Structure 1
Amino acid sequence: MPVSDPVPWIEGPAPAERLYLVTGGRTHTEHPLDLHSLVRARPLTSADRPAVPTNHAHKDIVRLCRQAPVSVAEFSARLHYPVQIIKVLVGDLLTTGSVVMAMPDTTADPTDRHLLERVLEGLRK
């Protein structure tokens, strides 16, 4: 006799679609992406439109990073997909040129005393 578990396996609502359908069964991308990788949407011309993926998840990612760069972790949180799924989807968009990697405007000096004190203060909170 099966034992029913009152605790659901998934917190929150179940995904509306199977995740392997979102990525076409793929689990990896050729692009080196991590949680803090930032991407932004590239302005599209009419000549670019056929290359843009039509999957709703791809469209959601492009929409979210149209105004400012967004990290892989933030996409995952906002779209409620696991990080690995987001990496595959962002990799697709990087391949088609719909999004580009966003680089920081400035690089922080790792020996800056003021910066290190602010980090230490934040860790103490």
Structure 2
Amino acid sequence: MTAVPPRRRMVPAYLATGGRSRPSRTAFDRLTLLHSASPDPPQGLEAEHRRLWELLRPGALTLVEAAAHLRLPVSATNFLAADLVDAGGLQARSPIPRAQQIDRTLVERLLDGLRSLR
């Protein structure tokens, strides 16, 4: 039995960007959270834009996760997301920043103070 090769995209990923070299807005971070902004898609969506909007309709995904589901490079998905945000079909939220490291001496002093209360 022969193995079936994985399906290749019929349209190269760079065509999803419409031949542009920069998205319409500042590029999103890879962990930017995308979610649908309306129950109905914006009018006049191209096929790749519609696929992204339909992927995000049930819930939110990060830009990287959406790119993986669409089998597109993150940079091409960034273009699609920026277009949909401009059209009002998606909302984007910046990733939550990592918590800063706590000063170890402060924690040790707190533990010493709690131990002295016994």
Please tell me the TM-score bracket, short chain as reference: 0.5 to 0.7
- Quick one: which of 20, 45, 53 aligns to 2:14? 20
The alpha carbon displacement at 1:111 in A equals 5.0
Aligned AA (1:16): M
Equivalence for 1:37: 32
Sequence identity percentage? 22
Task: Provide the TM-score with structure 1 as the length reference.
Answer: 0.63
CA 1:43/1:25 → structure 2, altered by over 3 Å: closer, same or farther?
same
CA 1:100/1:83 → structure 2, altered by over 3 Å: closer, same or farther?
same
Equivalence for 2:63: 72
Equivalence for 1:86: 77
Determine if contact 1:42/1:98 at 8 Å carries over to the other structure: yes
Q: Which runs of 5+ in 2 are unaligned?
A: 103-118
Q: Which runs of 5+ in 1 are unaligned?
A: 1-10, 113-125
Distance in 1 between residues matched to 2:88 and 2:14, nearest whole Å = 23
Indicate the structure (1 or 2) with the bigger Cα radius of gyration.
Answer: 2
Determine if contact 2:29/2:94 at 8 Å carries over to the other structure: no
- Quick one: which of 56, 63, 66 aligns to 2:54? 63
Equivalence for 1:97: 88
Root-mean-square deviation over aligned CA pairs: 2.7
Determine if contact 2:39/2:57 at 8 Å carries over to the other structure: no
Q: Bigger CA drift: 17-26 or 86-95?
A: 17-26
The aligned length equals 98
The alpha carbon displacement at 1:70 in A equals 0.9
The alpha carbon displacement at 1:100 in A equals 0.6
